Structure 1
Amino acid sequence: MNEQIDQLISSVQNEKVKQWASLLDKKYRDRSGQFLIEGVHLVLEALKGTTQIATIVYDNERGIPAELKYKRETNDTPVTLGVEWVQASRAVMAKCTGTDTPPPVFAVLSKIAADKKALYRDKCLVVVLDGVRDPGNAGTIIRSADAVGADAVVLGKGCVDLYNPKTVRSTMGSLFHLPIIEADLMELLPEARERNVKLVGTSLQAEHTCYSYDWTHPTWLLLGNESEGLSPAVREQVDESVIIPMAGQAESLNVAMAGTVLLYESLRQRKYDS
């Protein structure tokens, strides 16, 4: 058992604390190549993966959460062996997470390197976001893509930052489970078409419903901005459009809900359509 006493940081003026807190700002995340995750669940998910974890910081009054303490004492993978563990005051925890009620633990990680090969796997299913700006929507779509076993998620220019703390929280750990690639869609989409990938969007004028469309082909599902939909340049790249039928009086579904419906129809056809 590891009996070492971890460094205690109590002042919000500490240089490490200033560095950690700066990661709440995209500019400093981009500059340092690091980001923050908070809460026991996300830290456990990070420890299961291969992402480089620099530091785990826990509330000194509450101590190391039991699940993390067990992981620390029993897991000797490279992910856990190189981690710096620090105990911090409640004030430090609040400053670094930007919350009035700080979590019991947060961690500092290196940004995740994504393999673009996943975009072109056999019978690939990839979700492409074009101008999705709400962190909750982006995070939910990433969770849904993970849930259906999609190969990757692409965030085009104009999307919310993947490492925005609200986006990270909304993924509930799914950002560690599948490749998430930030890219210029005007470069990526033509390449996908050259590789015989079907680019599928949504449209109220579509000839296919999402249930009559054949999702078993290599497919990239394109989801657009919350209010404007797909940008004109991206819409020009679309091969097929589908519509989600609605039997009630709701005018529309938000982008995260619509994306989830489409992804689950794809899963049904690919895995359960006998």
Structure 2
Amino acid sequence: MRRRRRLESLAALRAALDRDERIAVVLRREGEIGVEAAALLERARASGARVHVESARAMQRMTGDADAPELLALQTGPAAGSVEALMAEGGLVLGLVGLRYPGNVGFVLRAVETAGAAGVVLANDWAEAPYEEALRLSMHAERYLPVLRAPAAELLRHAREAGRRLIALETSGDRTPWEVDWTAPCVLLVGSEAEGLPRVVLDAADEVVRVPMAGFIPSYNVQAAVGVALGEWMRQTPGAAG
């Protein structure tokens, strides 16, 4: 199963370009960069990669290194322009059905990108303004992974056609995230905190999982519950990490 892979050295980027592998995004440190880095940047741009300029501090935080790298690249990133294409990729896809608040969606998108999932499908009826607000709150995660918008029926249909398992996250679930198999390509389906997932979506799911609770408030915030599921997916698929 393929997970998006981050290339943190010039040698790794050069090797990927030499193998004609898809580079989706290259982050360039602001200011001057060396001759080798500049040449690799132009090769990546010519191959179709998008280029973003980031501050040295941002680049340093992304890698955790003392020195900010000149370039960071993302392999197999946002290439899927349709739900059908996204479902054909490897990795985990998130389906967010009926979420109301831009803050919740934005924080979920940030968590999904951080975990290295393949992409997200938003199934809601938002206008453009709340959608743009969600992207802003996600720290513009859409730069690094596909964030698509489609009706729930289209999401389910393409997931089934691609042979993906459907795992619904709901308080009514009869299993916990660590009791199900995340190693095959799957879609994690998530609904709003107030209403949950629609019955038609729950009925389509292969598994319905819940995050255990011990308090009085009836549910976790949605990004907290998604974070638990993402952590279990990462634990079960360590070989897919870049």
- TM-score class, shorter: 0.5 to 0.7
In structure 1, the partner of 2:152 is 185
Aligned residues: 179
In structure 2, the partner of 1:25 is none
Greater Cα shift, 228-237 or 254-263: 228-237
1:202-227 alpha-carbon deviations (Å, 9 max, x no partner): 23332211111111121100111231
What is the aligned-residue identity percentage?
A: 33
Larger Rg, first or second structure (1 or 2): 1
1:56-84 alpha-carbon deviations (Å, 9 max, x no partner): xxxxxxxxxxx86x379x9786667xxxx
- Specify every segment of 5 or more residues in structure 1 that has no aligned partner in the other structure, as ranges: 1-47, 51-66, 81-111
Q: Partners in 1 of 2:128 and 2:184 — Cα distance?
A: 30
Corresponding residue SS for 2:179: coil
Q: Partners in 1 of 2:81 and 2:145 — Cα distance?
A: 10
In structure 2, the partner of 1:242 is 209
Amino acid at match of 2:139: M
Query: Is the CA contact (8 Å cut-off) linking 2:95 and 2:155 kept in structure 1?
Result: no
TM-score by length of 2: 0.62
In structure 2, the partner of 1:106 is none
State which of 208, 213, 221 in structure 1 corresponds to 2:175: 208
Query: Is the CA contact (8 Å cut-off) linking 1:114 and 1:180 kept in structure 2?
Result: no
Amino acid at match of 1:152: G
1:103-130 alpha-carbon deviations (Å, 9 max, x no partner): xxxxxxxxx98433232223x2000111
Query: Is the CA contact (8 Å cut-off) linking 2:121 and 2:155 kept in structure 1?
Result: no
Amino acid at match of 1:129: L
1:119-161 alpha-carbon deviations (Å, 9 max, x no partner): 2223x20001111121111111111111111001001132574
Query: Is the CA contact (8 Å cut-off) linking 2:99 and 2:105 kept in structure 1?
Result: yes
TM-score by length of 1: 0.56
Q: Does 1:121 align with 2:89?
A: yes
- Specify every segment of 5 or more residues in structure 2 that has no aligned partner in the other structure, as ranges: 1-23, 52-77
Inter-CA distance 249–198: structure 2 relative to 1 (3 Å threshold): same
Inter-CA distance 49–218: structure 2 relative to 1 (3 Å threshold): closer
Query: Is the CA contact (8 Å cut-off) linking 1:137 and 1:255 kept in structure 2?
Result: yes
